[in-house]
């Protein structure tokens, strides 16, 4: 579509004002029906924004396969409870693709399906964040809630791991803030599968409390939460009915090994899991 002179002047003015939001260089800007998509480079880090200050994804330019953001590293705490990922994983929300890239890089036997609502985000993940074309990764452009509903028959009990990280410019996407969404996700999990979710807001927030209640009831309170250090995110880990219980001593040993292997703070994650889940810890971990 050709922009007229007035449109071009407005867009230049918008861009110049918008740059002041970010401490960095705007290297790409796009728009779709859901708003702005912006890519910012600052101090060797490339970040994805949806027209607002919160970062949807970030990538260290010198090491693009690393999990750079604290919340993304904290989401990897599922590795404390699963030795590896050698089958199917479902990602609800793609963003810049940092989690998808990490899984592909670390687990050569995994098969990943990622569901992303915005086609423009998928294009930018490919063009600006190095999301590879890989036969092990299938990307579906769809609403996350609708996708899991439509796959209750064809993908039932398929996934060992479901990771939910679906946000828009203002917070968690509406499609995932529904009880039926989590019910459908559980049906797509294997008996020993895990659901990992990135929640926004502190424990006093009504939205977080509602999600915790839904997950607790659905997973029979085999549920742990770990706050993201220095951020407003809380990561939830929900364990399906076939998952075993774990000895704390074994988990401590495993955390040390994982930290050396992946250079991620697993020992701190485990300490925080124990500290913040006293009422339900015995459902998952025994001392």
* Pure H helices in 189-240: 206-218
For 44, other C-beta atoms within 10 Å of its C-beta total 11
| Residues 17, 272: Cα–Cα separation, whole Å | 41
Catalytic, out of 165, 168, 250, 272: 165
59 forms beta bridges with 46
Instruction: Specify whether 34 is catalytic.
Output: no
| Residues 60, 79: Cα–Cα separation, whole Å | 22
Q: Name the residues annotated as catalytic.
A: 165
């Amino acid at each position: 579509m050709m922009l007229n002179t007035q449109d071009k002047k407005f867009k230049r003015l918008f861009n110049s004002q918008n740059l002041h939001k970010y401490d960095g260089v705007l290297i790409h800007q796009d728009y779709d029906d859901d708003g702005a998509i912006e890519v910012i480079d600052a101090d060797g880090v490339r970040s994805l924004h949806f027209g607002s200050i919160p970062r949807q994804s970030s990538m260290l330019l010198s090491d693009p396969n690393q999990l750079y953001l604290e919340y993304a590293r904290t989401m990897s705490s599922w590795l404390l409870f699963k030795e590896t990922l050698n089958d199917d994983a479902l990602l609800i929300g793609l963003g810049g693709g940092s989690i998808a890239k990490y899984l592909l890089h670390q687990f050569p036997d995994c098969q990943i399906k990622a569901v992303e609502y915005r086609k423009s985000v998928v294009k930018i993940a490919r063009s600006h964040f190095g999301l590879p074309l890989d036969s092990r990764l299938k990307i579906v452009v769809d609403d996350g809630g609708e996708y899991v509903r439509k796959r209750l028959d064809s993908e039932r009990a398929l996934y060992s791991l479901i990771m939910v990280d679906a946000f828009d410019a203002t917070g968690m996407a509406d499609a995932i803030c529904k009880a039926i969404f989590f019910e459908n996700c559980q049906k797509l999990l294997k008996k020993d599968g895990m659901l990992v979710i990135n929640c926004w807001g502190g424990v006093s927030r009504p939205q977080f409390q509602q999600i915790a209640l839904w997950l607790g009831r659905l997973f029979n309170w085999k549920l742990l939460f770990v706050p993201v250090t220095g951020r407003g995110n809380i990561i939830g880990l929900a364990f399906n009915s076939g998952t075993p219980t774990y000895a704390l001593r074994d988990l401590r040993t495993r955390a040390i090994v994982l930290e050396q292997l992946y250079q991620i703070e697993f020992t701190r994650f485990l300490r925080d899991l124990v500290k913040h889940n006293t009422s339900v810890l015995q459902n998952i971990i025994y001392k």
